[in-house]
Amino acid sequence: MSSEIFIVAFVTAIIMVIAAVVIGKLLAPTSTNAQKGEPYECGIPTKGTSWMQFKVGYYLFAILFLIFDVETVLLFPWASIMKSLGSIGLVSVLFFLFILVLGLAYAWKKGALEWK
């Protein structure tokens, strides 16, 4: 039942966007000229493209996010049966977390968490 409702919500969202954009295109006035299509940056014409290199710091944080997000995903099944697993479950998760926190501490020490 729920997966059908999910598809219903998904399709409704798509229909809403398409309908509103079509209505907007029909109702709204349009006029075009060469300057209008330029990127909205400043008064003078834009130099070059914007698809260029950007700061590597973002990439570092993305990698760190990946590690910890996968960790969170792995912990969800444990968390939902934590009550019945008892202390054995807690101890085994402590090992898992210890290794991860070691990784975070290493990144911290190396200065990967600083924004330079």
Site residues for other proteins per CB under 8 A? 1-6, 8-14, 16-17, 20-21, 23-25, 27-32, 36-41, 46, 49-51, 54-55, 57-58, 61-62, 64-65, 68-69, 72, 75-76, 79-84, 86-87, 90, 93-94, 97, 101, 104, 108, 113-115
- C-beta of 35: minimal distance to other proteins in Å? 10
Question: What's the DSSP call for residue 41?
Answer: S
Q: Which is nearer to other proteins, 21 or 106 (CB)?
A: 21
- C-beta of 23: minimal distance to other proteins in Å? 6
CB 62 within 8 A of CB 55: no
**Cα–Cα distances in angstroms (integers) from residue 3 to residues 9, 10, 32, 84, in the given order:** 10, 10, 44, 29
Q: What angle, 0 to 180 degrees and rounded to 10, lies between the N-to-C axes of helices 87-110 and 57-80? A: 170
